Amino acid sequence: MDPGILCKGNPIKGVHGISFIYQRHINDRDIRLMDIDYLGSVSRLCGVILRTFHLPACKKNMPVTEIDTEEGVRSLINDVKDQVIVIDFWASWCGPCRMIGPHFDNWAKEAEYESIKFVKVDVDEVGELAEEFGIQCMPTFMFFKNGEKIDEISGANKDRLKELLDKYK
């Protein structure tokens, strides 16, 4: 197999109907999708590629945006104006994070919260930023508007998180 081809014709775990050849040139980070045959939406395919190959970008057109770089988080906080952003700082090994995660994802899909931008950030990917923000435990949910932190909650308290979402919708 050509060393530039990382995945050839195999469906990706958890996503049905997607089969593609992915080629990545290491030097210029050029991405080419050469044989796309899928039943899902383009945004879903892009999200899978970003997650699977840990590309430094955020998913667009998805209810929850996943950002895996410190620069991406800072840029989002500073660039999004007149919209509340809620960031879930979580870790894959954190039990409470996995418990509240599905609720966070579901709220992001609900029409009543469409005015809020939902974001997930894995603290293991952005360690310095987590330290800079003073994150002591996980999950920690921080609310931002116009570049300023407006609220915060730590722990997997579903009811309290919903109260804050209702407050800022």
User: Which DSSP string do the residues of 49-108 spell out, in sequence order?
Assistant: HHHHHT-SS--SSSSEEEE-SHHHHHHHHHH--SSEEEEEEE-TT-HHHHHHHHHHHHHH
46, 58, 97, 137: which one is catalytic?
97
Residue carrying structure tokens 């996503």: 15
Rounded-to-integer distance, Cα 38 and Cα 70, Å: 32
Per the CB < 8 A criterion, the answer to whether 143 and 116 are in contact is: no
Active site residue 137: no
Rounded-to-integer distance, Cα 58 and Cα 72, Å: 8
Closest CA to 167 of 113, 108, 110, 103: 113
Active site residue 97: yes
Per the CB < 8 A criterion, the answer to whether 121 and 67 are in contact is: yes
7, 46, 58, 94: which one is catalytic?
94
Q: Which residues have a catalytic role annotated?
A: 94, 97
